[in-house]
Amino acid sequence: MKKSHLIICGRLFDGIHEDLTPDMEILVEGSRITAVGRNLSRPKDVNVIDLKHLTVTPGMIDAHVHGNLMRWQETDNILFQSEGYSTLAFLHTAERCLERGFTTIRCNGMGPAGYGIVDARNVIDKGLFPAARMNVGAHMLGGPGMPGDMSMYACTNEPLSDYMQIKTIGSGRDFFRNQVRREVKYGTDFIKIFLSGSFLSPDGGPEISYLDDEELQIIIQTAHDLGKPVTAHVYPPRMMKKLLEFGIDGMEHGALMDEETAKMFEKQDTYLVPTFSPFQDVIEGNDNLVDKNTEDSQMKLRKFAPRLKESRQIIRDSKIRLGFGSDFCAVHQPYESWYEYRSWMRSDMGAFRTLKAATSVNAGILKMDHLIGSIEPGKLADIAGWHRDLLDDCDALSECDFVMKGGRVYPTADIVVDEYAR
């Protein structure tokens, strides 16, 4: 027998309309929302959940999570962690995200060989663990030495580094065609390309490229032939333009955006997950937090700071379809997704644009908008409640008071610990 819940909201953001509607009710039967409105009919034996003191929203979605570490401070040891440990870390991250009001996370795989991330997704989907559902890109496809190549941490020892290099890193059309097919075979939801360098990894920087045109084209073509979307880690405009030309579904970061490239995004309606948080400290001049990064990362962040500021404004003023993704590999824990809300708000993105990015827009990016991302009849009952002011408080998502996923109520975190201060 399906259990029924009637949720009484103080104010409701439904994920679609740019307003907070007072005195709304949500009827949940089993795992689905069956009615939304005022003074709804109450089924017999319905469980009434009184959230009149809260603003109710869809469950939040973080579209860029690296959950392969229990704590970001373990990055230096990543090369020596087993696939089992990485799998447990993904599960740990998903559990911590759920209790913070993020009911779905899109995991951009960054870990050892193997497909433990897929196993973590599957056991969560079976309801065996109280955790956010996972949409997974199991591994990153790129060339040797790219930021996702964790064997770089052993590059002073050639035999060890070659031994540790994962199977999705290589060169040539045939190699990448085969690796896309393998990723799909073993259960990935999307394909992730690592095209440019990075700010946070020991490489040549964000403007270098690790793949040529033929390699990019075969990855995108093969993935699309197999029905899988493709995204890419990328920063400079020349590479973004190339990906747009090749028909990629979306991109991550784009932190060196220019106006010409932004207009191309708009014309093609290609999404961008801009991951503001990793660059927020250098943009705001928070030197004490920038200094928590490695010396190499500090140098890159400060070198590109003027362009990062200019590009942030271009992204803000554009009409690009923007998704909400935190991308924490340093300074913040991988499950502290609420910091991205702070970054969007401090970048004058506006509360409703930010909230829509973290709900209905992200659901579309994950190709799950038929199931999640809005509070409508027929959707899964992924619902969160917040006591702080979502419109004016940039830290409003730091404290979640209520979370339901698929019609089941889960406990929220008692205290959100500011762990990056440790």
pLDDT digit string (tens) for 178-196? Answer: 999 999 999 999 999 999 9
Q: With a cut of 70, say whether residue 94 has pLDDT above it.
A: yes
Q: Averaged over 312-333, what is the pLDDT?
A: 91
The answer on pLDDT for 389 being more than 60 is: yes
The first and second tokens of residue 157, run together, are 């020892």
> What domains appear along the chain, each with residue ranges and CATH number?
4-58+373-414 (2.30.40.10), 60-365 (3.20.20.140)
Give 327 or 383, the one with higher predicted confidence: 383
Give, as one character, the DSSP assignment of residue 13. -
pLDDT of residue 14: 98
* 368 φψ region: left (φ > 0), alpha (ψ -120 to 50), beta (else): alpha
* Stronger pLDDT, 63 or 109, i.e. the higher one: 63
CB of 58 closer than 8 Å to CB of 372: yes
- Does residue 198 register a pLDDT over 90? no
Compute CA distances 114 → 97, 107, 182, 238, 252, whole Å: 23, 15, 11, 33, 23
207 pLDDT more than 80: yes
- pLDDT score of 76: 63
Dihedral sign computed on CA atoms, order 374, 376, 381, 387: positive
pLDDT given for residue 328 in this prediction: 80
The chain-wide mean pLDDT, for the chain, equals: 91
Region 92-114: what's the mean pLDDT?
89
Of the two residues 238 and 332, the one the predictor is more confident about is: 238
**Is residue 418 very low, low, confident or very high in pLDDT (cuts 50, 70, 90)?**
very low
Strand bridging mode 191-194 / 230-234: parallel
pLDDT at 78: 67
The more confident residue out of 108 and 184 is 184
Percentage of the chain exceeding pLDDT 70? 92
* Encoded tokens for 217: 């084209």
pTM of the shown model: 0.94
> By the 8 A CB rule, do 121 and 136 touch?
yes
Q: What order do you get walking across the sheet with 140-141 strand by strand? A: 140-141, 191-194, 230-234, 250-253, 271-273, 321-322
Cβ-count burial 262-288 (b if 16+ within 10 Å, e if not): bebbeeeebbbbbbbbbbbbbbeeeee
The dihedral built from the CA positions of residue 49, 363, 399 and 133, taken in this order, carries a sign that is: positive
- What the block records as the tokens of 260 is 């010409």
Least confident of 19-28, 59-68, 104-113: 104-113
Lowest pLDDT segment from 48-52, 75-79, 260-264, 345-349: 75-79
Q: Which of 391, 291, 403, 411 is nearest to 341 (CA)?
A: 391
pLDDT at 293 over 80: no
